[in-house]
Amino acid sequence: MILELNDYLDWPYLAQVFRLERICWYPYYRGRTRKIAYGLSSMMPARASPERLLNLSREYWEIENGLHYRRDVTLHEDATRLTIGNAGRIMAALNNLVSWEESLESLVVTMTNEMYDTIREHFLLVLDDYHLVEDVETIRGFLSRFVKLSDENCHLTLSSRRLTHLSNLPRMIADEQVEGLDLPAPEIKPPASPYDLPGSWYVIHSYSGYENKVKANLETRIRSMHREDAIFEVTIPMEDVVEIKAGRKVTVARKQFPGYLLVRMFMDDDSWAVVRNTPGVTGFVGNANKPTPLSRREVERILGVRKDQEEKKAPRFKPEWEVGETVRVVEGPFADFNGVIEDINVDQSKVRVLVDIFGRETPVELSFEQIQKF
């Protein structure tokens, strides 16, 4: 057998090549999988029969599934970058908490003794976002005992969004073992221009009148597909418009571009698919497969620029009349006269009306408030 195998493989001491067929049954899915693996062994068939090879393989997978899988897959221990000093050993001891709840005291004593014997200099152990695990009784008990037993060179920092609760916290404060630091949240001012925010701005098209529904659909889809790190904001450009209804000015919010929405995002194949396949989205504006982002000038013209002392932008007036339409003058020296609109100046809120005076059409400049529909 050895001579035959060595004719094909230059592998000293190779005695057997075996094939292992595994059939896994999954009751929940009501299905099964069939996998085939091949193995090499230096043991002769007399010492390693097929039954023994099978048992050895099963014993290996008991170790792999019972210990290594949990530590490598759940705790990502193989991917750790803690390589300085005893950091890796300490983190491995913390990972043992997952299965050592019944021997918590033994674990704390072992860890503190290990640190005392191996770490002489002062060191800092930081546990960030402690509020996420604070409700776990095992972790609270572990930290309370850890702080109590740790030597003076060990400094533990807990970063939490709420006041930390440990079982013996009042006594530790009295013994000057614990100090608190309350830092106010830093004031972070947003960029003056929306163009400077993360990502680029793109325009998507939808059916007119369905913009709000499309916006809600897209935001829900972003959350459900966990793409918040690539698609940041969906907005419908709005503007305040002044209309005259029943002789009174009324300010209403209008869509600047009916049928269009703006999306701030990092463009890649996945984020493109999330947006493009959202119900109600008919496509990106521009190249369908490789959309072009808006320029700084376009973004700032549509969304504006923030200024510290900027006054609120005056609403734009939307006239309810058209050139060539007959209106009635309601104020001023030409009150109760009728006339035909010759020109509308929206920026100055004025119109030029041809008023019939003594049988002649005379152009008169009036403000929007001085006329109304005939």
Residue 215 above 90 pLDDT? yes
pTM of the model: 0.41
Question: Quick one: which H or E segment has residue 205?
Answer: strand 200-206
234 closest CA partner among 253, 256, 212, 255:
212
CA dihedral 42, 47, 48, 52 (to 10 degrees): -140
* Tokens representing residue 246 in the block: 């029943």
* Tokens representing residue 167 in the block: 């079982």
- Calpha distance 115→112 (Å, rounded): 5
Kindly give the residue spans of alpha helices, DSSP state H, lying in the chain: 2-6, 50-63, 69, 87-95, 104-118, 137-149, 169-174, 211-224, 269-276, 296-303
Per residue in 17-34, pLDDT (tens digit) is 889 888 877 655 556 788
Asked if residues 112 and 150 have their Cβ atoms less than 8 Å apart, the reply is yes
Per residue in 129-170, pLDDT (tens digit) is 887 777 667 777 777 778 777 777 888 887 777 666 665 666
* Tokens representing residue 197 in the block: 């925010």
pLDDT band at 201; cut points 50, 70, 90: very high
Residue 348 above 80 pLDDT? no
**What CATH number does the domain located at 326-373 have?**
2.30.30.30
Edge-to-edge strand order for the sheet containing 231-235? 231-235, 260-265, 200-206, 281-284
Q: Where are the domains of the chain?
A: 2-77, 80-174, 199-317, 326-373
- Calpha distance 221→227 (Å, rounded): 8
Q: What is the DSSP string of 122-183?
A: -EEEEE--GGGTTT-HHHHHHHHHHHHH--TTEEEEE--SS----TTHHHHHHTT------P
Pick the CATH number of 199-317 from 3.20.20.70, 3.30.360.10, 3.30.70.940, 1.20.1370.20: 3.30.70.940
* Tokens representing residue 13 in the block: 């001491």
